[in-house]
Chain A
Amino acid sequence: MPPETLIEVKNLSFSYGSRSILKGVSMTMSRGKVVAIMGGSGSGKTTLLRLIGGTVTPSAGYVKFDNHVVHELNRDALFKLRRKMGMLFQFGALFTDLSVFDNVAFQMREHTDLPESMIRDLVLMKLNAVGLRGAHHLMPGELSGGMARRVALARSIALDPTLIMYDEPFTGLDPISLSVIGSLIRRLTDALGTTAIVVTHDVQESLKIVDYVYFIADGVIAAEGTPKEVSQTVKPFVHQFVHGEIDGPVPFHYPAVAYHSDLQLEDRLA
């Protein structure tokens, strides 16, 4: 039996004004998998997450989450749907006026009527899962970047979502924190039976933990496959991306007129 599909993205297009970010992207993600979305900076990865979360509306195509077309839902239904989603923002986006404990407890207090004693147990369990049970009394300002990311991770799994989206979870972390976050993503996904979408451009770390990879370039899917297929691929774009080559299908130079005419060499020589 093939695994059940959780998210279906079909011909998704999106543009900011006249600038089109996504031009007809299609992908499917099944339950219990870790899927990576890779691409250069500004290729529309984060926008894709926003489309799945329903914070922006596509100009064409649709995102289907759990058999609901996201952008057709009304506000209440959308908010109900979002309770099944957790999202880890690029720099954690912890609430700076709340302590670590209150940050993790935030959704439980907003969305459930659980008694405070039960919330306490749940929060400590979530914090224990990311190894920060002892830091529950700290304020976000007192945490290191890696710890803040882990607290944000604990917060995003607070209500046991069916989908967790990670927006650049590896940015700006030291190698130890980086592997910690990487293994946490994998372990939490397996332990909770959730689906994870990891938006990243950290190739080496993400290829270790994901089940499937999509490459986005110029608003379309340039390549896709399992990590094994991807690292053996001969497609020039993927090869350049995976191996971090400076020049290739993604040029080093921003489009410009010919170098010698920009420096007016002809005029000077003439």
Chain B
Amino acid sequence: MLKRIISGIRGIGHRVIDSTWRLGYAARFFILVLLKSTTSLRRFGLVIRELYFTGVLSLIIILVSGLFVGMVLGLQGYETLQKFGSESAVGTLVALSLVRELGPVVAALLFASRAGSAITAEIGLMKATEQLSAMGMMAVDPVARVVAPRFWAGVISMPFLAAMFSVMGVFGGYLVTVVFIGVDEGLFWSQMQNNVDFRIDIANGVIKSFFFGIAVAAIAVFEGYDAPPTAEGVSGATTRTVVTSSLAILGLDFILTAFMFRGIS
């Protein structure tokens, strides 16, 4: 019995040390990627190519999800608000929830599972098939040539995707409450515009999504680059990308929200 407890504690300790080690390694890799980003900035064509794969190919899922989330928000918000006779505030509700929270967070979660996992799998497979070693032997740094462009493409596309998600959501809310239910259109927009502040709500939402983009892209490229060069290794890394990014997004969201809305309301 005592033996089992001791081995259990040892296992926990081992895991903690192991993850700390990995975290440090990941941080070093992140710095390395930043330092080697000059190539991708000089040859922006590389980033544009990756923008296609991370950004453009995520468009459909982001737009459709945004529309549905907005429609649900409109429906739920209307149900609750009409009990208090303030159904005209439904525009405010939809817009504020989307711009402040749901837009950046849900878009980032979708982005992690759509583009993040693809980045990890691609880099992991390139490693497993020795493409990265081959690049190194050709005197081309794989971090500068393969990793950095994918990282920057992720960072750039995330705020755009989050903004599109929010716009589609607002449109979805408008569709449900104004077009289907019949809330006054003028009140819907004016209430929204009166209560959504550019600097506090919209700019902060964009800043959030920018941070989420950095987190997802950094995790995705690191997991891919660090993946064991086998089929199981790559599939495990892909799963880890989605899990770790989702946790990172939600954790970061709390921290950023605490910073941004401190002292207000």
Contact across chains for A95 and B131 when beta carbons are under 8 A apart: yes
Q: Return B222 CB to nearest CB of chain A, in Å.
A: 20
Tell me the bound Cα distance from A150 to B122 in angstroms: 24
Given A96-B126, A110-B145, also A82-B137 (CB < 8 A): yes
Which residue on B lies nearest to A107, using beta carbons? B138
A198 to chain B, nearest CB (A): 16
In addition to A53-B137, A87-B134, A111-B139, 4 A-B residue pairs with Cβ atoms within 8 Å of each other are A55-B133, A87-B138, A89-B133, A91-B130
Contacts of A87 in B (CB 8 A): 134, 137-138
Which residues of chain A (61-107) have a CB below 8 Å from chain B?
79-80, 82-83, 85, 87, 89-91, 93-97, 106-107
- Inter-chain contacts of A90 with B (CB < 8 A): 130
CB pair A89 B130 closer than 8 Å: yes
Q: Which of B134, B135, B136, B140 has the most CB of A within 10 A?
A: B134
Min CB distance A50 to B, Å, is: 8
- What CA separation (Å) do A110 and B140 show in the bound complex? 7
Which residue of chain A lies nearest to B122 when distances are taken between CB atoms in the complex?
A97
Q: Which residue of B lies closest to A80 (CB)?
A: B139
Chain A residues positioned under 8 Å from B125 (CB to CB)? 96
Contact (Cβ within 8 A) B133 A93: yes
Q: Are B130 and A93 interface neighbours, CB within 8 A?
A: yes
Bitwise, A40-74 to B at CB < 8 A (1) or not (0) is: 00000000000001010000000000000000000
Which 4 A-B pairs give the minimum distances between C-beta atoms?
A93-B134, A93-B130, A82-B139, A79-B139
A83 contact from B133, B134, B139, B145, Cβ within 8 A: B139
A165, closest chain B residue (CB): B137
Tell me the complex Cα distance, A90–B136, Å: 15
What residue of chain B has the Cβ atom nearest to residue A161's Cβ? B138
Bound Cα distance from A95 to B122, whole angstroms: 11
Number of interface residues of A (CB under 8 A): 20
- Contact A82 B138, beta carbon cutoff 8 Å: yes
Bound-state Cα–Cα, A89 to B131, Å: 9
Q: Which of B131, B136, B141 has the most CB of A within 10 A?
A: B131
Which of A55, A91, A93 is packed against the most chain B CB atoms within 10 Å?
A: A93
CB atoms of A106 and B139 under 8 A apart: no
| B-side contacts of A53, CB under 8 Å | 137
> Which among A55, A79, A85, A96 is the interface contact of B129 at CB below 8 angstroms?
A96
A89 to B134, Cβ gap below 8 A?
yes
Task: Please report the C-alpha to C-alpha distance between residue A94 and residue B135 in the assembled complex, in whole angstroms.
Answer: 10
**Chain A neighbourhood of B131, CB < 8 A:** 93-96
A97 to B, closest residue via Cβ: B122
Bound-state Cα–Cα, A235 to B50, Å = 56
- Would you give the shortest CB distance from A196 to chain B, in whole angstroms? 15
How many angstroms between the C-alpha atoms of A96 and B124 in the bound complex?
A: 12
Whole-angstrom distance between the alpha carbons of A110 and B141 in the complex? 10
Q: How far is the CA of A87 from the CA of B129 in the complex (A)?
A: 14
B122-162 interface mask toward A, CB cutoff 8 Å, 1 = contact, 0 = none? 10011001110111111111000100000000000000000
CB distance from A107 to the nearest CB of B (A): 5
B129 near A107: Cβ-Cβ < 8 Å: no
In the bound complex, how far is the Cα of B138 from the Cα of A107, in angstroms? 7
In the assembled complex, 25 residue pairs joining A and B whose CB atoms fall closer than 8 Å, in A order, are A55-B133, A55-B136, A79-B139, A79-B141, A80-B139, A82-B138, A83-B138, A85-B137, A87-B134, A87-B137, A87-B138, A89-B133, A89-B134, A93-B133, A93-B134, A94-B131, A95-B134, A96-B125, A96-B129, A96-B131, A106-B140, A110-B138, A110-B139, A111-B139, A111-B140
Which residues of A have CB within 8 Å of B140?
106-107, 110-111
Are the CB atoms of A55 and B137 closer together than 8 Å?
yes
Task: Give the one of B125, B131, B134, B138 with max A CB within 10 A.
Answer: B138
Q: Which residues of B contact A107 (CB under 8 A)?
A: 138-140
A97 contacts which chain B residues (CB < 8 A)? Answer: 122
Specify which chain B residues have a CB less than 8 angstroms from the CB of A85 in the assembled complex.
Answer: 137
Q: Which one of B126, B129, B135 has the greatest number of beta carbons of chain A within 10 Å? A: B129
**Residue numbers in B under 8 Å from A79 (CB-CB):** 139, 141
Q: Which residue of B lies closest to A110 (CB)?
A: B140
Residues of A within 8 A of B122 (CB): 97
User: In the assembly, what is the distance between CA of A111 and CA of B140, in Å?
Assistant: 8
Q: In the assembled complex, how far is the CB of residue B238 from the closest CB belonging to chain A, in whole angstroms?
A: 17
What is the distance, in angstroms, from A20's C-beta to the closest C-beta of chain B? 22
Which residues of B sit under 8 angstroms from A83, Cβ to Cβ?
A: 138-139
A contact residues around B141 at 8 Å (CB): 79
Q: Give CA–CA (A219, B131) in the complex, Å.
A: 27
Closest to A88 in B: B134
Would you give the shortest CB distance from B250 to chain A, in whole angstroms?
32
Alpha-carbon gap, A184 to B138, bound state (A): 21
A149 to chain B, nearest CB (A): 13
